[in-house]
Amino acid sequence: MNRARRLVDALRALQPPKKALGQHFLVLDEVLEATVAWAEVNSDDHVLEVGPGPGVLTEALLATGCTVTAIELDEGACEHLKRAFSEALTSRQLTLLEGDALTVNWPNGITKVVANIPYQISSPLIDRITKAHRHPHSEPLEQVVLLVQEEFAERVVMEYESDVGSLGMVVALDFDADMGIRVGPHAFSPMPKIHSRLLKLEPHDEDWPCDRRLLVMMIQQAFAERRKKLRSTLKRPPKRIGRVPGWHASRWRTAYEALVDDERMEQRPEVFELDDWVELGMAFVEVENGA
Query: How confident is the model over 112-139, as pLDDT tens digits?
Result: 999 998 888 999 999 999 999 999 888 9
**What pLDDT score does 246 carry?**
94
Mean pLDDT score, 263-274:
96
CA distance readout (Å), 209 to 38, 163, 278: 32, 26, 8
Show the DSSP H helices in 3-54 as ranges: 3-14, 29-38
Say which DSSP state 192 is in: -
Q: Looking at the predicted structure, is the pLDDT value of residue 288 above 80? A: no
The tens digit of pLDDT for each residue in 197-229 reads 999 999 998 989 999 999 999 999 999 999 999
Whole-model pTM: value is: 0.93
Of 57 and 17, more confident: 57
Who contacts 225 (Cβ-Cβ below 8 Å, separation ≥6)?
232, 233
- Which among 277, 234, 242, 241 is positioned nearest to 259, based on CA atoms? 234
Assess whether pLDDT exceeds 70 at residue 290. Answer: no
Which structural domains are found in the chain, ordered by start? Answer: 3-203 (3.40.50.150), 212-289 (1.10.8)
Q: How far apart are CA 235 and CA 256, in angstroms?
A: 6
